[in-house]
C-alpha cells in the first residue's frame, strides 16, 4: 500500500498520510515519503499551495513505536538517520516558500501533533485530540519541542510535554494554535478553500511574505523591522 497519497487539483497539491490501520503512524517509509513529497511540491513550478491530511479516523498517531526495537545504542547509525529525517520533517514546512495548510481529525499525537502545528495554517475537526504523551513511553519529545514552544510558550508548553495533557479542538482554537474548527465532512473543503486563496496570490509575493513572517518572529524588534524594510523595498521594485 502506498503510505502517502499525492493528488494535484490545479495549483494545489494534496498529501494524505495513508496508513489508516496504523493510525498513520510515522514509520521510516512514511516520514521519508513526506519529506520527499514536500520537497517536490516546493520545486514544482505550477504548485502554489499544499494541503496536508490523514486517511481514516485520525491524522497521525506519532512515531511508529514498532520500529523503536531497531533504534538501540548499538545501532547509532540508524538512530542518527531516523533523528535527522524526523527533524527535517518537523522543520521543512517553515522553510518552504510554498504555504501549507493541515486538515486534522482525530488523533494528532507526538510527532503527528508536531507535524500539524508545523503547518502555516491548521483546520481541525471537533474530534481532534492533540498532545505529546512521549514521556509515558520513556521518550522525550525532543524534535517537536521548537514547535511546541512557539505555539504555546513556556508554561503551557512544559505542561503539555511533562503531563501528557491532551488539547481539544476548542482549546486549540482558543489558544490560536488552530485557525478554525469545522465539521469533519467540511475539513478538506475548508482546507482547499484556504489553499486556493493562497494560490491566487503571486508566488513571489507569497514566498516573500511567508519567509519574512517566520524570520521576524525569531528576531529582536530592531532586526525584524530592518528585515521588513528590506523586503518592502524589494517587493515595491517587483510591482513596478
For residue 35, what are the contacts with CB-CB under 8 A and spacing of at least 6?
85, 88, 89, 92
What is the arithmetic mean of pLDDT over 92-112?
Answer: 97
Per-residue model confidence (pLDDT) at position 139: 84
What is the separation of C-alpha 185 from the centre of its chain, rounded to a whole number of angstroms? Answer: 21
| DSSP-based helix, strand, coil % in the chain, nearest 5 | 55, 15, 25
pLDDT higher than 50, residue 212: yes
* pLDDT of 16 higher than 80: yes
Least confident of 13-22, 28-37, 198-207, 217-226: 217-226
pLDDT bucket at 81, cuts 50 / 70 / 90: confident
Q: Is the pLDDT of residue 83 over 90?
A: no
pTM of the model: 0.90
Condensed to tens digits (0 to 9), the pLDDT of residues 172-211 reads: 999 999 999 999 999 999 999 999 999 999 999 999 999 9
Distance of CA 91 to the CA centre of its chain: 8
DSSP 167-194: EEHHHHHHTTSSSEE--GGGHHHHHHHH
User: How is domain 4-198 classified at the CATH fold level?
Assistant: 2-enoyl-CoA Hydratase; Chain A, domain 1 (3.90.226)
Strands 129-131 and 167-168: antiparallel
Quick check: 65 pLDDT over 80? Answer: no
Query: How many Å is the maximal CA-CA distance in the chain?
Result: 60
Amino acid at each position: 500500500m502506498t503510505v502517502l497519497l499525492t493528488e494535484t487539483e490545479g495549483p494545489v497539491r494534496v498529501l494524505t498520510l495513508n496508513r489508516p490501520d496504523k493510525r498513520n503512524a510515522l514509520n521510516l517509509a512514511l516520514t521519508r515519503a513526506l519529506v520527499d513529497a514536500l520537497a517536490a511540491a516546493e520545486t514544482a513550478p505550477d504548485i502554489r499551495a499544499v494541503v496536508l491530511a490523514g486517511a481514516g479516523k485520525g491524522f497521525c498517531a506519532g512515531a511508529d513505536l514498532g520500529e523503536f526495537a531497531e533504534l538501540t545504542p548499538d545501532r547509532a547509525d540508524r538512530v542518527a538517520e531516523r533523528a535527522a529525517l524526523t527533524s527535517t520533517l518537523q522543520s521543512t514546512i517553515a522553510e518552504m516558500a510554498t504555504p501549507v495548510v493541515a486538515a486534522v481529525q482525530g488523533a494528532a499525537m507526538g510527532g503527528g501533533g508536531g507535524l500539524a502545528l508545523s503547518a502555516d495554517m491548521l483546520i481541525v475537526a471537533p474530534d481532534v485530540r492533540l498532545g505529546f504523551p512521549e514521556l509515558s513511553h520513556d521518550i522525550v519529545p525532543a524534535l517537536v519541542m521548537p514547535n511546541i514552544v512557539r505555539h504555546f510558550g513556556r508554561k503551557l508548553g512544559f505542561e503539555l510535554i511533562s503531563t501528557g495533557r491532551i488539547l481539544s479542538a476548542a482549546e486549540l482554537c482558543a489558544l490560536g494554535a488552530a485557525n478554525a474548527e469545522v465539521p469533519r465532512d467540511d475539513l478538506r473543503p475548508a482546507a482547499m478553500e484556504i489553499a486556493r486563496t493562497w494560490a491566487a496570490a503571486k508566488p513571489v509575493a507569497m514566498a516573500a511574505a511567508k519567509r519574512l513572517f517566520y524570520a521576524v518572529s525569531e528576531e529582536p524588534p530592531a532586526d525584524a523591522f530592518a528585515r521588513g524594510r528590506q523586503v518592502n523595498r524589494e517587493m515595491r521594485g517587483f510591482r513596478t
